[in-house]
Amino acid sequence: LIPTLREDPGEAETVSHRLMLRAGLIRKVAAGIYTYLPLGLRVIRKIEQIVREEMNLAGAQELLMPIASPAELWRETGRWDYYGKELLRFKDRHERDFCLGPTHEEVITDLFRREVRSYRQLPLNFYQIQTKFRDEVRPRFGLMRGREFIMKDAYSFDSDEAGAKISYQKMYDAYTRIFTRCGLTFRAVEADTGLIGGDVSHEFMVLAETGEATVVYSDQDTYAANLERAEVLPPVDVDTSPLRPLTRIATPQHRTVEEVTAYLKIEPRQLVKTLLYKAGEHAVAVLIRGDHELNEVKLARLLHVTDVELASPEAVHTLTGTPVGFAGPVGLKGIPILADHALKGMRNFVVGANEADTHYQDANWDRDFQVDRFADLRNAKPGDPSPRGSGSLTLAKGIEVGQVFLLGTKYSKSMRATILDDQGKERLAVMGCYGIGVGRTAAAAIEQNHDDKGIIWPLPIAPFHVHLLTVSQSESSASAATRLYEALLAADIEVLWDDRSERAGVKFNDADLIGAPFQIVVGDKGLADGVVEIKVRRTGIKTRVALPDIVAHLRKLCVNADVTGAARPSSGR
RNA sequence: CGGGGCGUAGCGCAGCCCGGUAGCGCGCCUGCUUUGGGAGCAGGAUGUCGGAGGUUCAAAUCCUCUCGCCCCGACCA
């Protein structure tokens, strides 16, 4: 059974989602919840196998934790309240609270503290490949952002920082090998730690237009970070023109940067917008140059809160006495004023006047208002200088397929996971955690490897190496195909045989859609000359090969295609 | 959570404005022909029109409620 679809399903927009449905890899059960069909499951298993091999090689041990976990563990770390609606909660028949695990720091740390006593038992690294559930606000793009999804998660435990860093590096290296073996073009970037927490983190980003994340990287040095994290250096070019006197100016009905700058015939970079934010219980004003974007993650980090949000129009009115659109720092009382450090280089700029339909021209910080704190608060943009030395920054879209975290003692502290060190003293275990989205890796591979006919699988994760199709109904081609099929199986070549009595065109199109790296076409025409046709899906190149030479020929093709998988690390672990 | 859109045969859609026998294409079944890039002819099967309630002689169509799905946004003063 190959349930391919001739037409694009109405529900899918992105390439990988469409092709996964059309090629018969997945079917939707509910929003963000999918069944893996036989073909899709084979791809998932291939990726899992690569992950297993590399994790084992890196010294991690596989275990399997439950999907349901009791609320008490989550209450210990505070995440029962903190995680929000993404945590799908339910009660068992005794009215006890449970949730479906979105990640497993709590469960593994609980295991660790019960079982491990001594530093001699460390380092330890446990991993599992398991179904996770996160009740996403907006599931989309098929397996790219599902609610239920398969994840490889790993957790390392060390007796000190130095050890934890080594464990982290091992995982970083393993991830690099995993995604390389999967045939992906990716980048490891510095990342923020978000809900998981911790100190250091890298995300593995597959570069693709459909990515939901933005990657920032330098064109000349090795700097790469996601947009939330990417550092912006203080300005180098400082305006030294003489200060002009502050002037009020009427800007009737002109609120946005666009409107005000057009009205005043100035550039957005000569205007400073004043954003009012709610950070926990407090309000702050944030000054940002007109052509820059505020980075809320940076703001939250600076203020030591988990989340910030724009103040409501009502709150803006209370704080500034004006409707939204005319807030400004001059005369603003009672709340801290923060400014992006780009302002340090600015003079004689335009700001709101805290009065309807009015702005100030030629405002200057220090003279006209005080800034409580300058900081890096904006998003990087193309052309910004690299924060590590040389080159300028480029922005690209990426799909996050993996992330590694150096957690430190965040969880071992709240859950009191301690070990005895060589002095007999109790110490908190130092942890790391590491995740790979298995289904998302498959989707990302399709985003990077397809054409208008369908998927072009990288050999290591292809559901089958070879798609065998018989295009003639004759006895002779059926028996030739049977012999060939068995010969390929005997040679450990995975082959999908399309023996349906469909017309040739249907089979060709399905084969292209499903995207096995190689197609073997058996037909009466070729058999008359004792040959079959081998087509390389990616290049479209067809070769006529004599029957006895097929296995050898395929082997050669495989070696050429599998440049990544062939290069196995020769570590002694 | 806000905005927009869509639920009609297995799939893709029309019909709805203007109420009156539920349609088209693909797929599926039967037969004949065809057979190396999504075949042709002939015949055939398939629908609680997402669900509930209402209006009406009469509802896929109008009204109310509800469920599901998709897309955009949740970033600017």
User: What are A144's two structure tokens?
Assistant: 């790219």
Q: Are A310 and A316 in contact (CB under 8 A)?
A: no
Tens-digit pLDDT profile for residues A81-116: 888 888 999 899 899 999 999 999 999 999 999 999
Cα–Cα distance for residue pair A267/A381, rounded to 1 Å: 17
DSSP line for A463-510: S-SEEEEE----HHHHHHHHHHHHHHHHTT--EEEE--S--HHHHHHH
ipTM: 0.92
Round and report the angstrom distance from CA (A497) to C1' (B11): 24
| pLDDT recorded at residue A2 | 58
Contacts of residue A141, defined as CB under 8 A and 6 or more positions apart, other chains included, come to A13, A14, A16, A17, A210, A443
Tokens of A210: 């459909």
Token digits of residue A485:
């099929």
Is-contact A189 A402, C-beta < 8 A? no
pLDDT in tens, A295-319: 888 888 888 877 788 887 778 888 8
Alpha helices in A199-304 (DSSP H): 257-264, 296-303
**At a CB cut-off of 8 Å and minimum separation 6, what does A78 contact?**
A414
Per-residue pLDDT of chain A (573 residues; tens, 9 = 90+): 557 888 888 888 889 999 999 999 999 988 899 999 999 999 999 999 999 999 999 999 999 999 999 999 999 998 898 888 889 998 998 999 999 999 999 999 999 999 999 999 999 999 999 999 999 888 889 999 999 999 999 999 999 999 999 999 999 999 999 999 999 999 999 987 766 667 789 999 999 888 888 999 988 888 899 898 899 998 888 888 999 999 999 988 888 888 888 888 888 889 999 988 888 778 889 999 988 989 888 888 888 877 788 887 778 888 888 888 888 899 888 889 999 999 999 999 999 998 888 899 999 999 999 999 999 999 998 889 998 878 899 898 899 999 999 999 999 999 999 999 999 999 999 999 999 999 999 999 999 999 999 999 999 999 999 999 999 888 889 999 999 999 999 999 999 999 888 999 999 999 999 999 999 999 999 999 999 999 999 999 999 999 999 999 999 998 887 654 443 433 332
H or E element in which residue A403 lies: strand A393-408
C-alpha to C-alpha distances, A369 to A199, A315, A443, nearest whole angstrom: 35, 21, 51
User: Which residues are registered as beta bridge partners of A535?
Assistant: A519, A542
For the CA of A351 and the C1' of B61, the distance in angstroms is 56
Determine the length of chain A.
Answer: 573
Tokens of A479: 């028996």
- Confirm if A160 and A422 have CB atoms less than 8 A apart: no
- Strand B neighbours among A 283-302, CB < 7 A: 288, 293-294, 296
Query: Which nucleotide has the least CA–C1' distance to A14?
Result: B71
The protein footprint on chain B, as nucleotides within 7 A of a CB, is 1, 11-13, 25-27, 34-39, 68-77
Identify the residues numbered 516 to 545 in chain A whose C-beta atom is closer than 7 Å to any atom of strand B: 521-527, 533, 535, 542
- Within residues 319-338 of protein chain A, the ones with CB less than 7 A from nucleic strand B are 324-327
Q: Which pLDDT value is given to residue A334?
A: 82
**Distance from CA(A7) to C1'(B22), angstroms, rounded:** 24
Q: Among A226, A223, A233, A153, which residue's Cα sits nearest to residue A191?
A: A226
SS3 for A107?
helix
Q: Are A335 and A256 in contact (CB under 8 A)?
A: no
The two beta strands, A426-428 and A247-250, are: unpaired
pLDDT at A194: 66
Residue A11: CB less than 7 A from any atom in strand B: yes
Does at least one atom of strand B sit less than 7 Å from the CB of A141? Answer: yes
Q: Which residue is nearest to nucleotide B1 (CA to C1')?
A: A137
Sequence letter at residue A162: A
pTM: 0.91
Tokens representing A42 are 């084979």
Q: Which amino acid is at A311?
A: A
- Residue A425 is given by DSSP the state -
